[in-house]
Amino acid sequence: MKTFGTISGAAATLKMINVDTDQIIPKQYLSAISRIGLGKGLFHDFRYDTNNNENPDFVLNREPYRDAKILITSENFGCGSSREHAPWSLDDFGIRCVIAPSFADIFFNNCIKNGLLLIIMDEDKVKKLMTVAENPQTCNMTVDLDAQTIVLADGTSVSFEIEPFRKQRLQEGLDDISITLQRRDEIATFEAKQKAIMPWLYRP
């Protein structure tokens, strides 16, 4: 897994509640067996018209947000389908950090697994960041995970909270499966105990 340290770049805003994973990446990108190039499908129906021409009004089609590294959005971002294509497409586009008042649970877990930093922040603070980000002159920000700060273009800094376990995972880019596999013995002990009590869960 990629590590997360510090990222700097434009922050784009998407003022919309309940943005579901179908909006983040629609179904036509789900039948491939590759993660490569999913960034072009990010927010597909917002970004392109029915003839696949760019919609000039959408934030990610405007400078300097074409190269956005950060997304600031509203409540319950990432609700709906469990598709991991959602974090993959954000990552492939170049967005490694999303800031919102709340996120949906499965999307939240999927982002942890892909080294994306989700920052949960009070709505008032999010609104202030949106105002700063909406101005192309001031939209560049630096997100520093170690310091837990977002440094704005004018040098002011906004702090954020993150659970220690999530912070550590992002900092170290840990491979969860390797870590769990080191606990084979504990898993085997659990299985032996369970099999003795509930043999019907173990099929020949």
Partner 1 sequence: MSTPKTLFDKIWESHVVAENDDGTSLLYIDMHLTHEVTSWPGFENMRLNNRPVHRTDAVLAVPDHVIPTTGRGERIQNDQARIQFETLIKNCKEFGVPLIPLLDARQGIVHIIGPEQGATQPGITLVCGDSHTATHGAFGCLAFGIGSSEVEHVLSTQTLVQKRPKNMRIAVNGELSLGVSGKDMILAIIGAIGTAGGTGHVVEYVGSAISALSMEGRMTVCNMTIEGGARAGLIAPDETTFHYVKGRPLAPNEDQWDAAMTYWKTLPSDEDAAYDKEVALDAATIAPQVTWGTSPEDVVPIDGCVPDPSAAADEKQRDAIQAAIAYMGLEANKPITDIKVNRAFIGSCTNGRIEDMRAAAKVAEGRKLADGVRAMVVPGSGLVKAQAEAEGLDKTLTKAGFEWRDPGCSMCIAMNGDILEPGERCASTSNRNFKGRQGRDSRTHLVSPAMAAAAAIEGHFVDVRDLAS
Contact set with partner 1 (CB under 8 A): 15-18, 20, 22-23, 26-28, 30-33, 35, 45, 50, 74-76, 79-84, 87, 102, 104-106, 109-110, 113-114, 163-165, 168, 176-177, 180-181, 183, 186-187, 190-191, 194, 197-204
- The nearest distance, CB 1 to partner 1, in angstroms, is 9
Task: Identify which of residues 137 and 182 has a Cβ nearer to partner 1 in the complex.
Answer: 182
> What pairing do the DSSP bridges indicate for beta strands 149-151 and 140-144?
antiparallel
Question: Which residue's CB is nearer to partner 1, number 20 or number 144?
Answer: 20
Residue 135, Cβ density class (10 Å: 0-12 exposed, 13-18 middle, ≥19 buried): exposed
CA distance 170 to 116: 8
Residue 8: CB atoms within 10 Å: 12
Q: Which residues pair with 98 in a beta bridge?
A: 71, 118
Residue type at 64? P
Nearer to partner 1, 29 or 160 (CB): 29
| Closest approach of partner 1 to the CB of residue 22, in Å | 4
Closest CA to 116 of 163, 69, 175, 68: 69
> Quick one: 135 or 182, whose CB is closer to partner 1?
182
CB of 156 to partner 1, least distance (A): 26
| Number of residues written out for the chain | 204
Q: To 10 degrees, what angle do helices 85-93 and 105-113 make? A: 50
CB of 177 to partner 1, least distance (A): 5
Question: Distance (Å, rounded) from C-alpha 57 to C-alpha 105?
Answer: 30
For partner 1, the closer CB: 1 or 151: 1
Task: Supply the minimum distance, in Å, between the C-beta of residue 158 and partner 1.
Answer: 21
